[in-house]
Amino acid sequence: MAVLVGKKAPSFSAPAVINGGEIVEGFSIEQYIGKKYVVFFFYPADFTFVCPTELLGFQERLEEFNERNVAIVGCSVDSKYSHWKWLQTELKDGGIKSVKYPIVSDLSKTISENYDVLAGTYDYSEDGDITFKGDPMAYLGLFLIDKKGVVRHQVVNDMPLGRSVAETLRIVDALQFFEENGEVCPADWHKGDKAMKETQESVAEYLSNQ
């Protein structure tokens, strides 16, 4: 598994569905560089069980991300038409109709490959034919990208293991606090907690006050 933290987020241009129903071509997260942070997350497939809980969870707290100047962008290997249909389907029927943030179509699977979250690999048979070993979908990968386009946090879960929207917000708060104050955030830090400078004395002082 590649570690992308500290590196430029892989660029791409791909179809996406935005605003809950508008299909656009050539969507790219590079449009946010210099303007917004980005939480770019992958999920295995449309019309599945764990995935809608996460997509709806991000939508429910979308305003909190907006307040922090963070764009939420989802991505799976489904087609733009599958995304559109899922976004038009009512929640009671297994849909995600309320979701308004962009959902990217990675039908070629190249975006998942570049972020190293594809659950399998391409190979060649003895006859020279291309085959795929594994599950041709993305793991539950999530990447926090700063305004310079650099990955500052990543987490990758296996498909049955849902992620925490609250933890994503906490990490956003920690990054922004560090950028604004130059102090690092210790274990289980939450917005409003004390942080510390990067010195051994600061660590000892922090621990003595716990």
Catalytic residue list: 51
Q: Are 154 and 136 in contact (CB under 8 A)?
A: no
Q: At what angle do helices 50-60 and 165-181 cross, to 10 degrees?
A: 40
Listed in sequence order, the residues at least 6 apart from 81 whose beta carbon sits closer than 8 Å to its beta carbon are none
Pairing relation of β-strands 70-76 and 37-42? parallel
Q: What is the CA radius of gyration of the chain?
A: 19
Which tokens go with 184?
């690092």
SS3 43: coil
SS3 195: coil
Residue from 27, 39, 105 nearest 69 by CA: 39
Task: Tell me which amino acid residue 10 is.
Answer: P
DSSP calls for 6-19:
TSBPPP--EEEEET
Cα–Cα distance for residue pair 156/1, rounded to 1 Å: 9
